[in-house]
Structures are given as C-alpha cells and as structure tokens.
Amino acid sequence: MSELAIRVENISKQYRIGLAQERPDTLRDLLMMGFRRFKHKLSRKGSGRYDDPGHIWALKDVSFEVERGQVLGIVGRNGAGKSTLLKILSRVTDPTEGYGEIHGRVGSLLEVGTGFHPELSGRENIYLNGAILGMRREEINRKFDEIVEFSEVGKFIDTPVKRFSSGMYLRLAFAVAAHLEPEILVVDEVLAVGDAEFQRKCLGKMNDVAQEGRTVLFVSHNMSAILRLTQETIVLDQGKIVLRAPTPEAVDHYLNMGLTKQGERFWTEEELGGKSDAFKPEALRVLNTDGKVVDTVNAAEGFSIEFEYQLTEAISGLRVGLYMMTTRGEYVFTTFDTDDPELYQEYSVRPAGHYISKCHIPPNLMNEGRFILGLNASVYRIRRYFQEDKALTFTVDVTGAPGTHWPEQRLGPVRPQFDWDIEHK
Amino acid sequence: MENSQQQGKQSPIIYLRPSKGWLSIDFKELWRYRELIFFLTWRDIKVRYKQAVLGISWAVLQPLLTTLIFTVIFGILLKTPSQDLPYPLFSMSALLPWQLFSTALQRSSVSLVGNANLLTKIYFPRLAIPLSSVFAALVDFAVSFVVLLLVMAYYQYWPGWNILWLFPIVLLALLTALAVGLWLSALNVQYRDIQHMVPFLIQVWMYASPIVYPIETIPEGVWRSLYGLNPMVGVIQGFRWALLGGTPPDITMLISIIVVVVLLISGLYYFRRMEKTFADVV
C-alpha cells in the first residue's frame, strides 16, 4: 500500500525582513511608501519585487512526497526553513510559489497549549483547545476521561489553568493534542519542554501514533529522538532540501554539514573600541576532533576550544580563562590555561607575540544542548585585560553518548560516563 | 485503526497553493467549523466576566447607568424632545441596540490581533474569530434586554406584535458591526492605528445616531437621506418603534440595509483577500 499522504512540488516561501522603513506598520508609513512606490514606478517599469534586498526566501523549491503511514524526520539548523515548511503544510500560511496536496486531516502540534486561556479551568480548556485543534465536541466528550488521565492533573481539572504549575499546564496541553486523531500529524519540538519523565511519555505516545499507521512529520533538534522515531529524514539547509535519506545517514550528514558559519568568532579593531591594550583578542573557535571549526560538536567524541590573541607587550602572571554556561545562565565550569602548575611556571611571563590557548574537552563530558562560552584574560588580583561573558555559542549533540539508547533528554548540563557495578544477590 | 483509515478515505484532498487575488467565501467550511465559533464565543463571554466581582451583572449595570446619565443631562437639563416617551425609556431603547453594536464592533476590530497566537499556529477559517466576537456581544444584549423589559413594565408600556420585528432589526445591527468589524480587524492586523481609532470612531458614530435625540431633529429631505446612510439610524429607529411605537421606520431603513449589504460583501472579500497574510504579518 503506497498511498500518498503528502506531495509538495517546488514550494517556496518568501518573507519580508528588516529594512524598517520598508515596512508600513502604521498608516503614515503606508502613505509615505505609496508615494515612494509611485515615484519608483514612474522611473522604472516592471517589478523586481522578488529579488528585493528586503525579502528572503525562507523556503526555495522544496519538493517531496510522503507515503501514508510513513514517519518522516525533518532536521536543519535554526532558520533552515523547518518551521516555515510545517506552517505551510498545516495551512497556517500560504506558499509564495509552488503546489502541494495533502490527503487527509492534518493535526499539528506546532506548539502545545495554543489557545489555552489562563482564566479558564482545565476542563474548559480541554474543550476550547480541542475545538481549536479541530476536534468535534462529541469526540472530546468521548475522550475526556482519557485526556484527564494522561495529563495526570486529576482533581485540579476545575481549577483555572493560571494556577497550574508549568508542568501540569504542559501535560494537560500535550494530553489534548495527543488525543487528536488526524491522518497526518505534524510535530515541532514538543519534546524541547517538560521534564524527563514527561518527555518519555510524549515519545511513547508518538511511537504509538506511528505504530497505528498514521503519517507523522517530526521536526526536532534532538537527534536521538529522530533516530529512534523515524526511518527516513529530510535535511534542510537555507530553505532547500539538501538530502533525503535513511535517518542514520541523514543525521550523520546533518552533524557533519560544513557548519563553519558559526562556531567561530573574530574580534575587530572597532569592536575593541580602539583601546591600545596590551591584550588583543583575535578569534575564538570550537573545533571537532578533526580540527574543523563547527557549530555542533559531538559529546561522545570530545572537542576543543581555541582562543587566539595577541600580546603587544610582555605580561607577567597572565591567565586566560574559559567559562562554559548553559543558555539558562548556569555555569557549567570555569577553567584557566595555566591551571596546570607546570604551564603556570612555564608561562609566568608571556613575552609579546601571537598566542593560541587551546582547551581540550574530553569525550563524554557535556550533555546535549546549546552552550555559551565566556572569556577572561587577567592577572590574578591585579588587572583584568579582557572579559566577555557571551563570546560564542555552540551546540552539543549526544549521539552515541552514554545512555542514548533511551531517547530522552537527561537533566543537567553534563553527561559523564560513570563506572557502574550491578550486584545480583 | 480501521477507524482512522475510514476517515482517511472520506477526507478530502487539501491543496496548497499561493493565494492570488480575491477568494470566494467558503461557507461550507465555515459551517464545518461551527463548533469552534461556538467555543470561541463561549470563551469570550466566560473570560470577560471572570474575576469580576459583579460578573455578568455588568451587562445590567452598563445600560442602566448610561441611561441614568443621559436622562439627567439630555432629558432633565437640556430637555431634549423624546417622541412623547419618558426620556429614560426613550434613551434606553436606543442604547441597547447601540451597545450591542458598539461592543460587537469594538471587540471584533481587535479580535484578530488579540488572537495572534492562534493565527500563527493553527489553521481554521479566520472568519471564525471576528464572528465569535460579534456573537459574544449578543449575550450581553440578551441580559440587558430583560432589564429593558422590566423598565418598560415600570412605565406601563407593553410591546405589541411589532416586537417580532426586533429579530430582523437586531440581525441588521449585528451585520453592521460585522461588516465594519471585518474591515477594521483585517486592517488592524497590519496597521495598529486602527485600534487607537476605534474608540473615537464609536463615539462619533454614537452622536451621529438618534440615541440621545429623536430622528425628527434632523431636517427632512436631503439631510435625512444622508443621515440614513448610517445604518444604525435605521436600526435604532426600528428598535424603538418595534418596542414602543411612535415613528415607524421609513425609507431610511432601506438605505441602511443597502449600505450594510455593500459594506458586508466588500468587507468579506477584503477579509478573505488579506487572511492569507495574517499569519505572516500579525
């Protein structure tokens, strides 16, 4: 049975961006713009509208087919066009060009809890949210008890959801969405939220949906979840499909994509404010084990961080420090290039010149997520030459890290490999 | 899941295409989403009176207090003529359809922006949003209508069979609010100037309707016809007549209906034309 569920041909979507004065958000702007356009039309015939610098293509000529019952993964970096694609497939927005057809009811979990109203009770929100997601009242009545049970909010069901803890709120929201029975389910990063236990439950539910033979489009940054749930995956980059392949291959490709655009940071003279300091930062890089500059590193393989700088004069007692922070602002660790007593002795005075301090992060230390690097160059208790708290961000992927056979998110910023003993008595 | 497969067989193919030009209005689809419209209306009503000590009694107090103010200022102090009706009854019978209209208009014109999170995440006929705001105003109206009947009883006025005319008249008021609301809500998605303009518009509109003064104040002839371009003139005059008698609606009613039909059809088409961009712009 190879019935088609989704077919899209050359779908493109253009957005207007930036260029504040080009966007008529108020009537005055509109009038001004109308006038300018009029002048423009007089001076130049035809419209070059599509290649305007104020427009970008969020998607460009995307074509693919999905068969009924298939679970297809979609991966790509932020801004690669994943969300735009899902929005088009769920008809929230129209493509600028192209054609597509969808066979069956589409249910989207673009964001759980859409349409929840804080003032209404859990019960009322189940009905409201169900209706918004496209369920009939009779259908909600039928599934009501199941939804409440799945959400575990039980006796709070008649309390306004604004009094719910965020966990309860989320569980209820997902419970409603999970009981939708569309032929095609579109899921975007629902698993990025909630505690580990809840995430396990969500993944389980999604697995069930897939087992029932329904079509699922699954977008995630969580490679373990993608690997676990999908057989085939599309890799998007800059609005285009760069690869469609069996999931392991696609994930591999995604992780190895020449991600040099990020993972590197330079300091220019202007940025430093023209201060003629003895210490001049030049570049900060995140490197994988092959020594390539990357935005995403693999925790199981380890990686390194190198900081390049210039000393215009000799400095004694200089130490270069590195801070690792989570995106929530918790410090993971602080380390200095002269922590080692030997290096501390050797570089008690650093003569003027060009330096690279490179920190090797061992395999199986970091957990998955996005991390922020902070930098510091100082002489202990004497002088701080340079400090930048958010110098660079990068992503850690945990494919192959300890315990990834359970596709759940682990708590905590680190994910070390520990030795365990199990005694059977 | 033989169930879902069956549904799959029935479910129609959805086509994705760039939207171009004017789209026809899909009433069938709107009807399929009637439960959503019901729940959105229900949410609007529920939320409006949550955490208000007096709750729904505001729907009673608002017209009563406004009537009181108008009676003191226009009835007692300015001695405005009132078609031989007690002034409180005269003004309250106009305030009810007016408040129905102004509430519906005010709420529908900001409705799309207020529901931006829905627009950007989920597909449904966008018309459901302004429609449900208009319907929500009807509930307040029903409550205050009961109060009006009590006030009428106090003044010993009993409505005759003409009261049946209230149905088409109230419908006309709703359609007027919807017609203007469609235009303004769609415009407000892009130009937030609209939401600052609406209170002012409503105020001007109120004084351009025979609420505090009788329609006879406007000279007959050209002026009266021009005045009739305001659909609320027909609505208010008709409402008063259906309940209390007096001047029956005349040619102005017909003008009102034509104006509303034109506004409504153009509003629907403008709305449909713009709705595909709502999610990108809002």
**Each residue of A145-190: pLDDT tens digit?**
998 988 888 889 999 888 888 778 888 888 888 787 788 888 876 5
How far apart are the C-alpha atoms of B46 and B41, rounded to whole Å? Answer: 9
The answer to whether the Cβ–Cβ distance between A114 and B192 falls below 8 Å is no
For B124-139, give one letter per residue: b (16+ CB within 10 A) or e: bbbbbbbbbbbbbbbb
Q: Are residues A22 and A56 in the same domain?
A: no
Of the candidates A280, A277, A284, the residue with the CA atom closest to the CA atom of residue A354: A280
> Is A359 part of any domain?
yes
Question: pLDDT digits over B11-64, tens only?
Answer: 567 788 776 655 667 788 888 888 899 999 999 888 888 767 777 788 888 888
**Which DSSP helix (H) or strand (E) runs through B44?**
helix B34-49
pLDDT above 60 (res B68): yes
**Residues A245 and A352 placed together within one structural domain of the fold:** no
CB atoms within 10 A of CB B226: 12
CB contact under 8 A, A115 and B122: yes
Residues of A in Cβ contact (< 8 Å) with B193: 26-27
Candidate from A8, A104, A114 with C-beta closest to B16: A8
Residue type, A405: H
Under the banding of pLDDT at 50, 70 and 90, the label for residue A207 is confident
Query: Side-chain half-sphere of A410: how many Cα atoms within 13 Å?
Result: 20
Q: Which residues of B touch A87 (CB under 8 A)?
A: 120, 279
What is the reported pLDDT for A50?
Answer: 46
> What would the pLDDT profile of A112-150 be if each residue is shown by its tens digit?
667 788 888 999 999 998 888 888 889 899 999 998 988
Query: Residue A103 domain-assigned?
Result: yes
Q: Which residue has the higher pLDDT, B114 or A198?
A: B114
Residue ending a domain, among A256, A288, A309, is: A256
Flag whether pLDDT at A298 surpasses 50.
yes
User: Which pLDDT band holds residue A260 (cuts at 50, 70, 90)?
Assistant: very low
Residue A21 pLDDT grade (very low, low, confident, very high; cuts 50, 70, 90): very low
B60/chain A closest Cα distance in angstroms: 23
DSSP state of B74: I
Question: Which residues on B lie below 8 Å from A103 (Cβ)?
Answer: 8, 11, 13-14
Q: Do A96 and A240 belong together in one domain?
A: yes
How far apart are alpha carbons B209 and B239 in whole angstroms?
13
Backbone phi, psi, residue B182, to 5°: -60, -45
Contacts of A99 in chain B (CB under 8 A): 15-17
Is A412 a domain residue?
Answer: no
Q: Is A408 within the bounds of a domain?
A: no
Interface probe with A: pick from B4, B13, B14, B189, most Cβ of A within 10 Å:
B14
Domain that holds residue A158: 4-14+51-256
More confident residue, A222 or A91: A91
Q: What is the pLDDT of residue A33?
A: 60
* pLDDT tens digits, B171-198: 999 999 999 999 999 999 988 888 899 9
Q: What counts of helices (H) and strands (E) characterise chain A?
A: 9, 20
- Residues 6 or more apart whose Cβ sits within 8 Å of residue B262: none
CA nearest to A181 within chain B: B4
- Residue A338: the pLDDT is 93
Give a yes or no: residue A405 inside a domain: no
**Amino acid B23: pLDDT:** 61
Q: Are residues A40 and A109 in the same domain?
A: no
Q: Is the pLDDT of residue A36 over 80?
A: no
Mean per-residue pLDDT of chain A: 82
Both A237 and A126 in a single domain? yes
Angle, alpha carbons A219-A220-A223 (nearest 5°): 130
Query: Residue A46: pLDDT above 50?
Result: no
Comparing CB atoms, the residue among A91, A105, A132 nearest residue B118 is: A132
Contact B132, B44 (CB under 8 A): yes
Residues A282-306 have a mean pLDDT of: 90
B121 and A108 within 8 Å at the Cβ level: the answer is: yes
Question: What would the pLDDT profile of B227-263 be if each residue is shown by its tens digit?
Answer: 888 999 889 988 989 988 877 777 778 888 899 999 9
Q: Which of A88, A94, A102 sits opposite B13 (nearest CB)?
A: A102
Inside any domain, residue A64: yes
Cα gap B108→B268, rounded to integer Å: 13
Give the gap in angstroms from C-alpha B282 to the nearest C-alpha of chain A. 10
Mutate to test the interface with B, among A27, A56, A140, A141 (most CBs of B within 10 A): A27
Higher-pLDDT residue of A68 and A16 is: A68
Dihedral angle of Cα B226, B184, A115, B276, to the nearest 10 degrees: 120
Q: Please check whether residues A225 and A108 belong to one and the same domain.
A: yes
Contacting residues of A for B15, CB less than 8 Å apart: 99-102
Least CB–CB distance from B4: residue in A97, A114, A181: A181
Q: Closest-CA residue in chain B for A131?
A: B36
pLDDT band for position A47 (50/70/90)? very low
pLDDT of residue B105: 95
Show me where the domains of chain B are located: 27-40+54-276
Cα–Cα dist B150/A409, whole Å: 64
The torsion of the CA quartet B212, B217, B222, B224, rounded to 10 degrees, works out to 40
Q: Which pair of structure tokens corresponds to residue B169?
A: 């008249």
Whether B17 sits inside 8 A of A108 (CB atoms) is no
Q: Which of the four pLDDT bands, split at 50, 70 and 90, describes residue A27?
A: low
pLDDT tens digits, A402-416? 888 887 778 888 999
Q: Strand A279-287 relative to strand A383-397: parallel, antiparallel, unpaired?
A: unpaired
In B7-44, which positions are buried (b, 16+ CB within 10 angstroms) versus exposed (e)? ebeebeebebeebeeeeeeeeeebeebebbbbbbbbbb
Taking CB atoms and an 8 Å cutoff, what residues of chain A touch B119?
92
End-to-end CA distance of chain A: 52
- Residue B228 near residue B255, CB atoms below 8 Å: yes
Residue predicted with more confidence, A194 or A170: A170
Q: Do A91 and B13 touch (CB under 8 A)?
A: no
- Residues in chain A with CB shorter than 8 Å from the CB of B118 are 114-115, 132
The bridge status of strand A264-266 relative to strand A279-287 is antiparallel
| Packed helices B87-109 and B166-190: angle between N→C axes, nearest 10 degrees | 40
Token pair belonging to B79: 């001695």
What confidence tier does A111 reach under pLDDT thresholds 50, 70, 90?
A: low
pLDDT score at A131: 87
Same domain (yes/no): A9, A144: yes
> Which residues of B lie closer than 8 Å to A, measured between beta carbons?
1, 3-5, 7-8, 11, 13-19, 35-36, 38-40, 42-43, 46-47, 50-51, 117-124, 190-193, 276, 279-280
Number of separate domains in chain A? 3
Region B7-13 average pLDDT: 55
Which helix (H) or strand (E) element contains residue B103?
Answer: helix B87-109
**Cβ–Cβ under 8 Å, residues B190 and B278:** no
Residue B87 tokens read as 């002034």
* pLDDT: which is higher, A264 or B184: B184
Answer whether B17 sits within 8 Å of A104, measured CB to CB: no
Phi, psi of B48 (to 5 degrees): -60, -35
**In this structure, are strands B13-16 and A349-350 parallel, antiparallel, or unpaired?**
unpaired
Residue A17 has pLDDT above 90, yes or no: no
Determine the distance in angstroms separating the CA of B206 from the nearest CA of chain A, rounded to an integer.
Answer: 25
Task: Assess whether A309 and A166 both reside in one domain.
Answer: no
Q: Give the residue from A196, A227, A256 where a domain finishes.
A: A256
> Which two structure tokens, joined as six digits, stand for A150?
């799945």
Question: From B16, which residue of chain A is nearest by alpha-carbon distance?
Answer: A100
> What is the C-alpha separation between A169 and A163, in angstroms, rounded?
9
* Model confidence band, residue A38 (pLDDT cutoffs 50, 70, 90): low
Upper half-sphere CA count for residue B281 (Cβ side, 13 Å): 20
Residue among B3, B14, B121 minimizing CB distance to A92: B121
The reply to whether residue A134 touches residue B124, judged by beta carbons under 8 angstroms, is: yes
Contact A105 B43 (CB under 8 A): no
Q: Hey, what are B114's tokens? A: 């207020």
Paired tokens of A133: 């997601």
Residue A286 is part of a domain; what is its CATH number?
A: 2.70.50.60
Q: Which chain B residues touch A11 with a CB distance below 8 Å?
A: 16
Q: Are A106 and A87 in contact (CB under 8 A)?
A: no
> Across chain B, which distance is largest between two alpha carbons, in Å?
75
* pLDDT for A20: 42
Higher local confidence (pLDDT), A73 or A251:
A73
ipTM here: 0.80
Distance (Å, whole) CA A397 – CA A239: 22
Q: Is the pLDDT of residue B158 over 90?
A: no
Total residue count of chain A as it appears in this document = 425
CA distances from residue A294 to A283, A300, A415, B220 in whole angstroms, order as listed: 14, 15, 20, 81
Chain B residues touching residue A92 (CB < 8 angstroms): 119-123, 279
DSSP codes joined into one string, A312-378: SS-EESEEEEEEEEETTS-EEEEEETT-SHHHHHHTSEE-SEEEEEEEEEPSS-BPSEEEEEEEEEE
From residue B18, alpha-carbon distances to A11, A163, A184, A192, B124 in Å are 9, 43, 22, 32, 17
Tell whether A95 and A219 lie within a shared domain: yes
Q: Is residue A414 part of a domain?
A: no
Smallest Cβ–Cβ distance between B43 and the set A11, A128, A214 belongs to A128
CA separation for the pair B111, B182 (Å, rounded)? 10
Question: Chain A residue closest to B45 (CA)?
Answer: A120
Are residues A246 and A117 part of one domain? yes
Give domain status of residue A424, yes or no. Answer: no
Q: What is the pLDDT of residue B8?
A: 41
Closest residue to B1, CB basis, from A102, A119, A212: A212
> How far is Cα A74 from Cα A311, in angstroms, rounded to an integer?
46
* CATH (domain of A200): 3.40.50.300
Rounded CA gap, B62 and B141, in Å? 11
User: What would the two tokens of residue A86 be?
Assistant: 């899902």
Per-residue pLDDT at B101? 95
Q: Which residues of A touch B121 (CB under 8 A)?
A: 92, 108, 110-111, 114
- The Cα–Cα gap between A144 and A212 comes to 21
Mean pLDDT of chain B: 85
Picking from A232, A256, A280, the residue at the C-terminal end of a domain is A256
Tell me which amino acid residue A137 is: R
* Overall average pLDDT of the B210-221 stretch: 83
Least confident of A248-257, A258-267, A374-383, B161-170: A258-267
A136 CA: distance to closest CA in chain B (Å)? 7
